Amino acid sequence: MFKNMKKQLNNEKGLTLIELLAVIVILAIIAVIAVPAIGKVIANTKDKAVLAEASNILSGAKIAVVDGACKDTEATVGTEKVITTTCNQAALKGFVQGIPEKDGTVDITYSAERVGNDWSVSYSRFANISNSKYNSGIVLGKTDEANLNKLLNNEGTVPAN
């Protein structure tokens, strides 16, 4: 009896073809389910990264204003004086880090503007956002701070100067 069992164990050389095919089918099913889900996560992460870069530009602009690197202009609207502050890309260079200079062969452009106490940011990479969930309220590559915070799921805003 032990000889027969030992002989039978020695004859097992590996998986049968059917077992091997079953494993391959199971792995294929898992891949079909997982690949699109992972692709969606990667795309959403890239979109959120663009929004985070825009938030970084706004924060840098606020610091640049305090430092005097951005240009103020004063205008009268009705009876009120409104101060507009424009921070172009050159003025923001020393205050913003982590923003790529090129997207492939295309130059990346950005700027920030404050009218009264309302900030807005213009960023050429807004065009790269693929999910409509993350580009609502962005018009011609520009959005205001409140919308940017909403898109980033931040309920509060960064305090104004």
Q: Please report the pLDDT score of residue 5 as a whole number.
A: 61
pLDDT of the residue at 7: 62
Ordered by start, the domain boundaries in the chain are: 2-151
pTM for this model (two decimals): 0.74
Provide the residue type at 47 as one letter.
D
In this structure, how many other beta carbons lie within 10 angstroms of the beta carbon of residue 145? Answer: 23
Write out the chain's pLDDT in tens, 161 residues: 666 666 665 666 667 889 889 999 999 999 999 888 898 889 999 999 999 999 999 999 999 999 999 988 888 878 888 889 999 999 999 999 989 888 888 999 999 999 988 999 999 999 999 988 898 899 999 999 999 999 998 544 444 44
What pLDDT is attached to residue 75? 84
Question: Within 10 Å of residue 73's Cβ, how many Cβ atoms?
Answer: 9
Q: Which residue type, as a one-letter code, is found at position 24?
A: I
Read out DSSP for 73-89?
A: EEEEETTEEEEEEEE-H
13 in helix, strand or coil? coil
Range 23-51 burial, b when 16+ CB lie within 10 A, else e: eeeeeeeeeeeeeeeeeeeeeeeebbebb
CA distance readout (Å), 43 to 23, 39, 40, 68, 152: 30, 6, 5, 38, 15
Tell me if 96 sits within 8 A of 89, measured CB to CB: no
Report pLDDT for 155. 47
